[in-house]
Amino acid sequence: MDFQSCVNIKKEWDIVGARQLGRDIARKIGFGTVDQARIATAISELARNIYLYAGTGKVCFEALEDMNQKGIRILAIDSGPGIKELSQVMEDGFSTSGGLGAGLPGVKRLMDDFDITSEEGKGTEITVIKWLR
Amino acid sequence: MDEKLKNVVLEHSDDIVKMWLEEIDTHKKNDYTSTISEEMFESTNREFVNVIFSSIEKKGLSSDLDDFSERLINLGWPLSYLTDGMQVFRRVVTGYILQQSEKIDSDYFSKVLREVDDWVDPIINRLVNEYSGSWEHIVSLQRVALQELSAPLIPVMENITIMPLIGTIDTERAKQIMENLLDGVIKHNAEVVLIDITGVPVVDTMVAHHIIQAAEAVRLIGSRCILVGIRPEIAQTIVNLGIDLGKFPTKSSLRKGFQTALELTNRRIEETQNNDKDIERLIDSLDRE
């Protein structure tokens, strides 16, 4: 998989950087304002998870184009502590940090495809895709 | 030995300056100086090289150097101009000295290099420090300015206060919003607080969480909070994320929120123009009778 551009997440302000880059790419692909907001919000959630739980990681973007549809793929990857119970974090209202616990299930609803792999002690990798309709 | 090298350089300063200026001129073609006029560039070059020589001569950093760098910073010259200039100077001087010497062995060569480094490096360090110092100063000033803007509170009328939020909300700012909100509610004796998020680009779970907490805290001290300025796309993402904002009223625009706030404080807007018309109509009808 060849990603066009990546943003390293180290500081809280890197979340904003990732969000802006993602929004720009989404706009170039042709997403409307509502989908741009969805994509920006999803990036914000993924990048914040990296910042909060793993400390460092990166968020990458790729414009997708095949015969009949266009879209954006976003990869959030870190080598943090990993997630113990994947099914648990996908439940609404589950949070280990006192937040709303809407982050990951919310991202899943904001985007079209959602894929997560995580290994305890190794890190987490989340890929999401939004198709242009 | 050291003195000898220095004298060589100082005696032949004219040649070195000439070589330096030529080389700098080739640098000029490819970058940063497109916006700087020819005469300006040349006079600055002359001044730069004089400053370098005077600090070598005096065997220390002169106040000329500080003045010079300060002026360039104020004019907005790039740091790369100065570092390039010093690197070129190092190259030119080393080359010149080696050219002038009769016998060159590795010992002599490394000695020359070290000597030239001793002249050049302190100047580079000083220039870079001056530049980064001025940047740090600007950044810290802007941070303070941004902080002052980050959570403003406007008491528009008795019992009604507005907090307009513009731009990204991070944890630091969320904390300030909470503090200013609660301080302001007490200070202005506000019954209703409007939080306007028209200018907030993205509302994710963290931002929503902070807003919910702030509204809850406002409720605890006996006031009411209305969230206004929710754009349609933001409303959709909030629903998608599954965030529950049902605990306090929300409105699409500040105007509607303000009307609600008036209702909550038992007031309403009356247009005086219409009243005048009513009176006119009354007088008209009286006249007709």
Q: How far apart are CA B59 and CA B48, in angstroms?
A: 17
Write a three-state SS string for chain B.
CHHHHHHHHHHCHHHHHHHHHHHHHHHHHHCHHHHCCHHHHHHHHHHHHHHHHHHHHCCCCCHHHHHHHHHHHHHCCCHHHHHHHHHHHHHHHHHHHHHHCCCCCHHHHHHHHHHHHHHHHHHHHHHHHHHHHHHHHHHHHHHHHHHHHHCCCEEEECCEEEEEEECCCCHHHHHHHHHHHHHHHHHHCCCEEEEEEEECCCCCHHHHHHHHHHHHHHHHCCCEEEEECCCHHHHHHHHHHCCCCCCCCEECCHHHHHHHHHHHCCCCCCCHHHHHHHHHHHHHHHHHC
- Of B9 and A59, the one with more pLDDT: A59
Residue B247 has pLDDT above 80, yes or no: yes
Inter-residue contact B235 to B204 (CB < 8 Å): no
**Average pLDDT taken over every residue of chain B:** 84
Given CB atoms, is B139 within the 8 Å cutoff of chain A? no
Q: How far is CA B213 from CA A91, A110, B167, in A?
A: 22, 24, 19
Given CB atoms, is B243 within the 8 Å cutoff of chain A? yes
Give the confidence band of A35 by pLDDT, cuts at 50, 70, 90: very high
Q: What is the dihedral of CA A31, A34, A39, A42, to 10 degrees?
A: -170
Given CB atoms, is A40 within the 8 Å cutoff of chain B? yes
The bridge status of strand B192-199 relative to strand B224-228 is parallel
Closest CA to B195 of B259, B144, B140, B151: B151
Q: How far apart are CA A49 and CA B76, in angstroms?
A: 39
The pLDDT value recorded for residue B289 is 62
Residues 175 to 204 of B: which have CB under 8 A from any A CB?
201-204
**What is the tally of structural domains in chain A?**
1
CB contact under 8 A, B242 and A34: no
Q: How far apart are CA A26 and CA B261, in angstroms?
A: 38
For residue A37, give both structure tokens.
């907001």
Residue B32 has pLDDT above 70, yes or no: no
The pLDDT value recorded for residue A15 is 92
Residues in chain B: 289
Residue A1 has pLDDT above 60, yes or no: no
Given CB atoms, is B153 within the 8 Å cutoff of chain A? no
Given CB atoms, is A87 within the 8 Å cutoff of chain B? no
Architecture of domain B154-273 in this structure: 2-Layer Sandwich (3.30)
Given CB atoms, is A103 within the 8 Å cutoff of chain B? yes
CB contact under 8 A, B205 and A40: no
- pLDDT tens-digit readout, B75-86: 888 888 888 888
CB contact under 8 A, A13 and B243: no
- Chain B positions in Cβ-Cβ contact with residue A41 (cut-off 8 Å): 202-204, 237, 240-241
CB contact under 8 A, A99 and B209: yes
CB contact under 8 A, B204 and A109: no
Reported ipTM: 0.81
Mean local confidence (pLDDT), B47-74: 80
CB contact under 8 A, A12 and B171: yes
Residue B163 has pLDDT above 90, yes or no: yes
Nearest residue on chain A to B172, judged by CA atoms? Answer: A12
**Average pLDDT taken over every residue of chain A:** 88
Residue B59 has pLDDT above 70, yes or no: no
The pLDDT value recorded for residue A3 is 63
Q: Which of A13, A37, A106 minimises the CB distance to B233?
A: A37
Determine the structural domain holding residue A23 and report its residue range: 5-131
Please state which of the four CATH numbers 1.10.490.10, 2.160.20.10, 3.10.20.740, 2.170.190.11 is assigned to the domain occupying B2-147: 1.10.490.10
Q: Where are the domains of chain B?
A: 2-147, 154-273
Query: Which CATH number does the domain housing residue A67 bear?
Result: 3.30.565.10
CB contact under 8 A, A106 and B240: yes
Given CB atoms, is A109 within the 8 Å cutoff of chain B? yes
Mean local confidence (pLDDT), B264-271: 87
Residue B146 has pLDDT above 90, yes or no: no
Mean local confidence (pLDDT), A112-116: 92
Mean local confidence (pLDDT), B6-29: 77
Inter-residue contact B184 to B221 (CB < 8 Å): no
Q: How far apart are CA B250 and CA B229, in angstroms?
A: 8
Residue B191 has pLDDT above 70, yes or no: yes
Residue B173 has pLDDT above 60, yes or no: yes
Give the confidence band of A76 by pLDDT, cuts at 50, 70, 90: very high
pTM for the structure as a whole: 0.71
